[in-house]
Structure 1
Amino acid sequence: MLELTGVHVGYGRTSVVHGVDVSVADGGVTAVLGHNGAGKTTLLRAAVGLLPVRSGRVTLDGEDVTRLRPHQRVRRGLAYVPQGQQSFGQLTARENLQLVADGAGSAGASRVDDALDLFPALRGLLSRRAGLLSGGQRQQLAIARALVTGPRVLVLDEPTEGIQPSVVQEIEDAVATLTAQRGLTVLLVEQHVGFALAASQRYYVLESGRVTSTGAGGAEQEADVRAAMAL
């Protein structure tokens, strides 16, 4: 569904990602693991069009989207949830969702309902300003807002970072539901190795902007992956 081939990305004169190949299969979870500074976020930003690819190619469901702008990729079914539980803090949770729903036309209302079904705790918080929500609640809101775009591929960057354990489990359950019941494809960057491997069908380990290990996902791979990452 999403494929990055020979991708080189950087900032200014600094190269960060060096010829990376990542293939994200339709309807499952692909995890990208690695230490801080390995190039994981840079790779995701290139995948969704927020950073230009210096060389290489990004394809979405067989279409070359390497030169498309981020909003054009969104229209083709690519949604991105960056690090940091990002939201419009002065707007209510309902208004955050409605901003996206307004651009979805007649499908907007039903997509909001579907997203709230995934995170039912948000229903009681819709009138609260997003800036007053907890970190876990803001993360749920950020994922819900991305889902309102109607994506085929959801790109998640550290969705459990800094989140209280009870909400971490809810986010893990939501990812499982999205793939198993709704057929969504997920590209996941995650520091929580156990969760990432348990959720994924394939993993990639990134180190200094290069893939150093890859294989089939599954919780049983955790010891080998931790050894590869020297954790």
Structure 2
Amino acid sequence: MLELTGVHVGYGRTAVVHGVDVRVDTESVTAVMGHNGAGKTTLLRAAVGLLPVRSGTVRLDGTDVTRWRPHQRVRAGLAYVPQGQQSFGTLTARENLQLVADGAGAAGRRRVDESLDLFPALRELLGRRAGLLSGGQRQQLAIARALVTGPKVLILDEPTEGIQPNVVQEIEDAITSLTTSGGLAVLLVEQHVGFALAAAQRYYVLESGRVTSEGTGGVEQEGDVRAAMAL
């Protein structure tokens, strides 16, 4: 569903990602792990078009979108939830969702209901300003808002950062539900190794902008992944 091949990305004269190959299959979760500064967020920003790819290709559902603008990729089915539980803090949770739903008519209203089904606790908070929500609630709202666009691929950057453990489990459950029943593909960047491997069918370890290890997901792989990240 999403395929990055030989991707090189950087900032100015500084190269950050060096010839990375990552594949995200339909109805699956692919995790990219690595320490701070490994190039994980840079890779995601290139995938969604926020950074230009110097060489290599980005394909979405078989179509080369390497030179497409971010809004074109969103329309084609790519949704991105950046790091930091981002929301419009002065707007209510309902208004945050409605901003996205308004452009999609009945489909948008249906998707709001579907996203709230994944995070039912948000229903009781729809009238509260997003800036007054907890970090975990804001993260759930950010994911729900992305889902209102009706994506084929959902990209999540560090969704568990600073989140209380019970909400981490709710987010993991939501990701599993999306891929098993919603036909969605998920690309997950995560430093929480246990969470990432529990959710993912495939993983990649990034170090200094290069893939140093890859394999199938599952918590039984945690020792191998931690060893790869220690190199």
Measure, in 2, the Cα distance between the counterparts of 1:73 and 1:103: 16
- Give the Cα–Cα distance (whole angstroms) in 1 for the partners of residues 168 and 202 of structure 2: 21
Which TM-score applies when normalising by structure 1? Answer: 0.99
Residues of 2 paired with 1:61 and 1:23: CA distance?
11
- 2:153 paired residue number: 153
Could you tell which deviates more after superposition, 9-18 or 143-152? 9-18
Deviates more, 1:140-149 or 1:194-203: 194-203
Residue 105 of structure 1, CA deviation: 2.3
Matches within 5 A, 1:42-121: 42-121=42-121
**1:179 aligned residue:** 179
Match of 2:32 in 1: 32
CA distance in 1, matches of 2:13, 2:91: 38
Give 1:37 shift. 0.4
Deviation for aligned residue 1:43: 0.1
Q: Read off the aligned partner of 1:85 and give its amino acid letter.
A: Q
Distance 2:96 2:23 in 1: 32
Cα drift, residue 106 of structure 1? 2.3
CA positional deviation for 1:183: 1.5
Shift of 1:230: 1.4
What is the alpha-carbon distance in structure 2 between the residues aligned to residue 95 and residue 138 of structure 1?
Answer: 13
| Secondary structure at 1:143 match in 2 | helix
Aligned equivalents of 1:20 and 1:192: distance in 2?
21
Give the Cα–Cα distance (whole angstroms) in 1 for the partners of residues 137 and 199 of structure 2.
Answer: 21
Give the 3-state SS of the residue equivalent to 1:115 in structure 2: helix
Question: How far apart are residue 222 of structure 1 and its match?
Answer: 0.7
C-alpha deviation, 1:13, in angstroms: 1.0
Letter in 1 for 2:25: A
Task: Look up the match of 2:218.
Answer: 218
Alignment deviations for residues 83-134 of structure 1 (CA, whole Å, 9 cap, x no partner): 0000000100000000000121220110000000000000000000000000
Structure 2 Cα separation of the partners of residues 104 and 160 of structure 1: 29
**Structure 2 counterpart of 1:194, one-letter code:** G
CA apart distance, 1:196: 0.6
Using the size of structure 2 for normalisation, the TM-score is 0.99
Q: Kindly, what percent of the aligned residue pairs are identical?
A: 85
CA RMSD after TM alignment: 0.8
- Equivalent residues, number: 231
Match of 2:142 in 1: 142
Letter of the structure 2 residue corresponding to residue 213 of structure 1 = S
**Match in the other structure for 2:4:** 4
AA of the residue aligned to 2:206: L
The gaps in structure 2 that reach 5 residues or longer are none
2:230 aligned counterpart, secondary structure: coil
**Large movers: runs of 4+ above 4 Å:** none
1:160 and 1:195 map into 2 onto residues whose CA distance is 8
Q: Partner letter of residue 174 of structure 1?
A: A
Partner of 1:18: 18
